[in-house]
């Protein structure tokens, strides 16, 4: 199995849950946790409904509606409501401050040499990357079949590795090789740690 097949086996919703707070109980989930969860879903190209998010986060739909209202009317993030599908989607660039998984790249200038990281983004989520301001160095090239090639000049850190894995195999590392190896290693660790135990 290739590295991309392995990463695809790692459920992206599980990785996102781990990144936010793996052991956090529903009764103690603060507003920031819910905001991050909503933003993560939107950035990953999902349609967000108050009912579905309420079920996932174990709060009331009214609470999620208030969170969405805060994101739209207080933070002025480009989130649109579709009355026909009764859901919310992202329809503009998210400032890097609000990008939950990769925002740390901009504050880690001292963590190592900045190198060109080249990623291939699958067509299912490619449109969202035209709407995200991930890093000042980002360059996007459209590829055949709706895919895109994303280039970032950043240090290779654990933040970057886990952000790539959070997309469940929809992002392929083209360069550098050692980043691809790191993604493979972490994905294998996750799979091995979740294998059913033999009785």
pLDDT in tens, 178-191: 999 999 988 888 77
Looking at residue 198, its pLDDT comes to 64
Looking at residue 151, its pLDDT comes to 94
Question: Could you report the per-residue pLDDT of 83-104, keeping only the tens digit for each?
Answer: 998 999 988 766 654 554 454 4
C-alpha torsion angle, residues 115, 118, 124, 128 (rounded to 10): 40
Reported as a pLDDT band with limits 50, 70 and 90, residue 159 is confident
Structure tokens at 98: 């609000």
**pLDDT greater at residue 156 or residue 26:** 156
Q: What is the DSSP string of 139-157?
A: EEEE-GGG-EEEEEEE---
**pLDDT greater at residue 4 or residue 28:** 4
Structure tokens at 130: 């035209």
Instruction: Tell me whether the omega of the peptide bond preceding residue 44 falls within 30 degrees of 0, making it cis.
Output: no
Q: Within a 13 Å sphere around the CA of 144, how many CA atoms are in the beta-carbon half?
A: 0
Question: Could you report the per-residue pLDDT of 10-62, keeping only the tens digit for each?
Answer: 434 333 444 443 334 444 456 777 887 888 888 777 899 999 999 888 889 99
Question: Could you report the per-residue pLDDT of 101-132, keeping only the tens digit for each?
Answer: 454 455 444 456 788 999 999 888 787 777 66
Looking at residue 196, its pLDDT comes to 64
Between helix 50-57 and helix 61-69 the angle, nearest 10°, is: 110
Q: Taking the domain 96-193, which CATH number applies?
A: 3.30.70
Query: Using an 8 Å Cβ cutoff, are 120 and 169 in contact?
Result: no
Q: Report the candidate in 175, 124, 131, 163 with the shortest Cα–Cα distance to residue 147.
A: 124
Looking at residue 24, its pLDDT comes to 40
Looking at the structure, give the CATH architecture of the domain made up of residues 3-90: Orthogonal Bundle (1.10)
With vertex at residue 24, the alpha carbon angle to CA 20 and CA 25, rounded to the nearest 5 degrees, is 140
From residue 32, give the alpha-carbon distance in Å to each of 20, 35, 90, 101.
10, 5, 19, 14
Looking at residue 33, its pLDDT comes to 76
Dihedral sign of CA atoms 87, 89, 95, 97 in order? positive
CB atoms within 10 A of CB 60: 12
| Domain locations in the chain as residue ranges | 3-90, 96-193
Cross-strand pairs, 150: 119, 140
Q: How far apart are CA 167 and CA 158, in angstroms?
A: 15
Has residue 80 got a pLDDT over 80?
Answer: yes
């Amino acid at each position: 199995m290739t590295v991309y097949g392995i990463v695809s086996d790692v459920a992206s919703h599980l990785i996102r849950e781990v990144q936010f707070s793996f052991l956090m109980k529903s009764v103690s989930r603060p507003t920031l946790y819910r905001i991050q969860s909503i933003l993560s879903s939107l950035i990953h190209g999902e349609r967000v409904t108050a009912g579905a998010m309420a079920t996932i986060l174990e709060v009331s739909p009214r609470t999620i509606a208030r969170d969405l209202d805060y994101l739209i009317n207080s933070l002025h993030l480009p989130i649109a409501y579709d009355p026909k599908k009764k859901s919310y989607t992202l329809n503009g660039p998210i400032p890097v401050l609000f990008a939950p998984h990769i925002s740390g790249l901009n504050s880690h200038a001292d963590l190592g040499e900045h190198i060109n990281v080249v990623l291939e983004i699958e067509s299912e989520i490619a449109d969202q990357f035209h709407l995200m301001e991930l890093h000042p160095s980002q360059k996007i090239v459209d590829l055949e079949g709706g895919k895109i090639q994303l280039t970032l000049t950043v240090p290779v850190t654990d933040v970057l590795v886990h952000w790539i894995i959070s997309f469940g195999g929809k992002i392929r590392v083209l360069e550098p090789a050692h980043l691809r190896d790191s993604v493979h290693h972490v994905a294998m660790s996750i799979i091995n740690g979740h294998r059913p135990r033999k009785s």
